[in-house]
Amino acid sequence: MAALAFSSIGLSGVSSRRLAVHSAGKAPPRRAAVARLQATEVAAKGEVLWEPDADAVEQTAMRKFQRSVGVEGGYGELWKWSVEESDTFWTSLLDFLEIEYEGSTTPARDGDVMPDVTYFPNVRLNFAENMLRHGAPGSPLANEEALVSISEARDDRRWTFAELRADAARVAASLAALGVGSADACGGYLPNIGETVLAMLGTASRGATWTSCSPDFGPAAVADRFRQVGPKVLFLADGYMSAGKWTSVVDKAEELIEALPTLERVVLVSLGDEPPAWRSERTKRLVVGWEQFLAQGDAAEQAEPPFERMSATIEKNLVNHTIAALDASDQSSSGYTTYGVAPSSFPVSSW
C-alpha cells in the first residue's frame, strides 16, 4: 500500500482552503527514499530544517488568535493562559474559528478532573456542516478548488467547494434512503481518494459514526475494529495502485463483508479494470456501485446536506490542524501518512 500525503492550507473563516489527496506512488520511490534519508540525517544532527521569519509568524492563525484574546508574549505564554483559563480559552476559540453550532456555551465545562470532564455540554454541532460551509450558496469560496484527488489508478479528480457540498449531499441523501441516522455507523475500507472524503462527509452529515481502515489492513483486524460500532453501510474499493503495481483486495473485502453481520449495503468504488468476481451470494446481494448508490437517494429534494447536529470534538480537530497554520491561501503543506492512521477527518479538518 502506498503511503499517502495530504496537503491543506488556510484558516477556517479567514482565507481559501484546499485539500489534496495524493497517492505517493507517483513520486519516484528511490528519490523519495533518498530525500527522507537526508532529512533524517539532518534532523539527527539537530540542525534546523526551516524556521519562519517574523512576518510569517505574525500571519499564523495562532498569533492572530493570541492577539484577539490579548495575551502578550509567545507560545509559552499562550499555552500557560490556555491552561489557567481553560473555560475562556475554549469559548474564545469557538468564536475565533467561527464554528457553526446551536445551544448555549454556558457552562463551558462540566466536571473538574479528566477524563470526567465535558466541554460545552449544551452545544450541538455537525462536523460536516462546518467543513462544507464554504460551498454554501453565496459563499465567496463556493467556486474555489476544495479537493484534489490524485491516484495512479485513474485520472486526477477535482471538486470545488460547491461541488463537494453537492456530492456530500448526494451521499447523505442515499444514506438517508437506507435509514442511516445518528444511531448508526458507516465504515470505509478505502484508499485515500476523493470518494473516501465524500463518504465520510456524507456520513457525518447524517450524524452517524464514521470508522475507517486502509485496504492494506488484513480483514480480521478491520473486522475487529468495525464490529465495535456495527456499521450499517460499508464503502470499499476493489484495490489500489502503488508504484505501477495493482493490488486487488477483492478477496479481503469479501472476507470482511462476511464478518460484518450488521451490513445492509456495501458501496463499491471501482478502481480496477475488471469488475470483481464475488463468490458469496450475500456479498452479491449487498454490493452496489458508487453511482448506483448515489442514484438511490433523492438528491433533487435534498440539494443541501441534512446536517444532524450533535455533541462532537470538532473544536479539538480545528485546534490541532488549523490554529497553527500559516494564513496563506496560495500555499500548501504536506503530511506523509496513510489512510489507516489518519482517517479522512484528519486532513479535512485543516480547512
Looking at the domain assignment, is residue 310 inside a domain? no
Lowest mean pLDDT among 83-87, 257-261, 345-349: 345-349
Query: Which of 54-63, 292-301, 331-340 shows the highest mean pLDDT?
Result: 54-63
Q: Determine the pLDDT at residue 126.
A: 87
Looking at the domain assignment, is residue 269 inside a domain? yes
Q: Same structural domain for residues 280 and 321?
A: no
Lowest mean pLDDT among 103-112, 170-179, 267-276, 335-344: 335-344
Question: How far is the C-alpha of 28 from the C-alpha of 43, rounded, in Å?
Answer: 23
Q: Determine the pLDDT at residue 236.
A: 97
Q: Same structural domain for residues 321 and 292?
A: no
- Helix (H) / strand (E) containing 87: helix 86-96
Among 203, 205, 246, 233, smallest CA distance to 343 is for 203
Q: Same structural domain for residues 260 and 340?
A: no
Q: Determine the pLDDT at residue 31.
A: 52
Q: Which residue has the cell 483486524?
A: 221
Looking at the domain assignment, is residue 158 inside a domain? no
Q: Determine the pLDDT at residue 48.
A: 82
Distance set, CA 259 to CA 99, 102, 208, 223, 255 (Å): 39, 39, 21, 6, 6
Q: Same structural domain for residues 287 and 331?
A: no
CATH number, domain at 246? 3.40.50.980
Looking at the domain assignment, is residue 163 inside a domain? no
Q: Which residue has the cell 537526508?
A: 38
Q: Check pLDDT > 60 for residue 51.
A: yes
Q: Determine the pLDDT at residue 137.
A: 92
3-class secondary-structure state, position 346: helix
Distance set, CA 292 to CA 86, 266, 288, 289, 295 (Å): 48, 11, 6, 5, 5
Percent over 90 (pLDDT), the chain: 53
Question: How far is the C-alpha of 111 from the C-alpha of 118, rounded, in Å?
Answer: 7
Q: Same structural domain for residues 210 and 293?
A: yes
Mean pLDDT of the chain: 80
Q: Determine the pLDDT at residue 301.
A: 56
Q: Same structural domain for residues 199 and 277?
A: yes
Looking at the domain assignment, is residue 173 inside a domain? yes
Q: Check pLDDT > 70 for residue 39.
A: no
C-alpha cell at 254: 469479501
- Confidence class for position 59, pLDDT limits 50, 70, 90: confident
- Confidence class for position 2, pLDDT limits 50, 70, 90: very low
The secondary structure of 183-236 as a DSSP string is: T-EEEEE--SSHHHHHHHHHHHHTT-EEEEE-TTS-HHHHHHHHTTT--SEEEE
Q: Same structural domain for residues 297 and 260?
A: yes
Polymer length of the chain: 351
Q: Check pLDDT > 50 for residue 180.
A: yes
**What contacts 284, CB < 8 A, 6 or more positions away?**
278
C-alpha cell at 320: 490541532
Question: How far is the C-alpha of 203 from the C-alpha of 219, rounded, in Å?
Answer: 22
Q: Check pLDDT > 60 for residue 82.
A: yes
Number of domains comprising the chain: 2
Q: Same structural domain for residues 35 and 80?
A: yes
- Helix%, strand%, coil% for the chain, nearest 5: 40, 20, 40
Q: Same structural domain for residues 121 and 203?
A: no
DSSP one-letter code for 60? B
Looking at the domain assignment, is residue 164 inside a domain? no
Q: Determine the pLDDT at residue 68.
A: 95
Q: Check pLDDT > 50 for residue 343.
A: no
3-class secondary-structure state, position 255: helix
Q: Same structural domain for residues 203 and 284?
A: yes
Which tens digit of pLDDT belongs to each residue from 88-146? 999 999 899 888 888 999 999 999 898 898 889 999 888 889 889 999 999 999 999 98
The torsion angle over the Cα atoms of residues 314, 335, 164 and 290, rounded to 10 degrees, is -110
Q: Same structural domain for residues 194 and 95?
A: no
Looking at the domain assignment, is residue 139 inside a domain? no
Among 225, 133, 243, smallest CA distance to 185 is for 225
Which tens digit of pLDDT belongs to each residue from 276-330? 999 999 999 999 999 999 998 865 455 455 566 666 555 556 665 566 554 544 4
Q: Check pLDDT > 70 for residue 272.
A: yes
Lowest mean pLDDT among 33-42, 176-185, 188-197, 250-259: 33-42
Range of the domain at 251: 169-301
DSSP one-letter code for 40? H
Q: Check pLDDT > 60 for residue 159.
A: yes
Looking at the domain assignment, is residue 157 inside a domain? no
Phi-psi region of 61 (alpha: psi -120 to 50; beta: other; left: phi over 0): alpha
Model pTM score: 0.79
Q: Is the peptide bond before 215 cis (omega within 30 degrees of 0)?
A: no
3-class secondary-structure state, position 36: helix
Q: Same structural domain for residues 182 and 231?
A: yes
